[in-house]
Amino acid sequence: MAIATFGAGCFWGVERLFWQLEGVVNTAVGYAGGLTQNPTYKDVCTGRTGHTEIVQVVFQPDQLSLAALLKAYWEAHDPTQGMRQGNDIGTQYRSAIFADESMLEEIQASKLRYQEQLTAKGHGAITTEIKANQPFYFAEEEHQQYLFKNPEGYCGLKGTGAVCPI
Residue numbers annotated as active site: 10
Q: Which SS3 state, helix, strand or coil, does residue 74 take?
A: helix
Using an 8 Å Cβ cutoff, are 134 and 4 in contact? no
Residue 55's alpha-carbon distances to 13, 66, 113, 134, 162, in angstroms, are 10, 15, 23, 12, 22
- Contacts of residue 149, defined as CB under 8 A and 6 or more positions apart, other chains included, come to none
The rounded radius of gyration (Å) of the Cα atoms in the chain is 15
